[in-house]
Structure 1
Amino acid sequence: MKENYVFEYINENEFKKLERSLKKYNMLAYKKLYFEYYPALKEGNFLGELVATNSSQATKTYELKLPTDIMFSKVHGDIKLIYLVYENERIVMLDKIMPVDILSEGHQQELVTYKGVMVSKQHSDKDMFKINLLNMIQK
């Protein structure tokens, strides 16, 4: 019987906050992550792009792009899961979900939307400008 990989966290509390925020604001990405990507990672199918390897610690760092709305992606960036794989110990170390700033802000307080895109309260003018600019370019 094949032994599965085990999930561990670099900072479990922060990761769970980002995960809950992802569930609240982007359900499609959350469902893909929970029901497709996590089981594949546990089986040893490492998804995403290999971004770094550390031969001394025998680790590989992966970046997995989650499904994202096009407008959200252009304003805040793609939603990505960053994780490390310790192949000798059969551990998948979950690091963070990007973009950290908007997801952690969404966990702390309710975010508003503008034309269907989440807007940060810290730099709402910048986000609204980007959204308006992208809408003008599309017309």
Structure 2
Amino acid sequence: MSDQTFDQYLMADHRECDALLGTLRRLAGAGDWDGARSAFASLNHDLLAHFAAEEEVLFPAFEAASGMSCGPTRVMRMEHEEVRNLLEDLSDAVSAQDGEGVRGHGEALLITLQQHNMKEEHILYPAALQSAGATAAELSAQVAARREAV
């Protein structure tokens, strides 16, 4: 993770997941189902690992430091669940080699992730970084360790 703070690290992870989704959509559109399955496996793994780092490390730390448990982290958890449901739909479409299903579910996932990531990057991450204060470096290391452990 080098000298990145958790917000920089997680924002880079957002971009990597976006790229994987683009690759999946491109491969499925070209009828490369082996490639699409591989891209989906990577996307699914990376999104779930990202969520684990946030839900198990970042969100609890923010809630403890800020005293807010019904604020932005609650919304983010609900949106994570929505993404998990979309991933299941996308998995079914890839397994069935359903190009239209991948296109539709992929588009829904893209829009959901774009909106979700904007909220995290512009609201939650800055607030969490501020609330972490002097512990930001330690929290950053914990977030990265959890993300990379999954």
Fold conserved between structures, TM > 0.5? no
Structure with the greater alpha carbon radius of gyration? 1
**Structure 1 length-normalised TM:** 0.34
Q: Indicate the structure whose relative CO is greater, using CA pairs within 8 Å and at least 6 residues apart.
A: 2
- When you count helix as a share of all residues, which structure comes out higher? 2
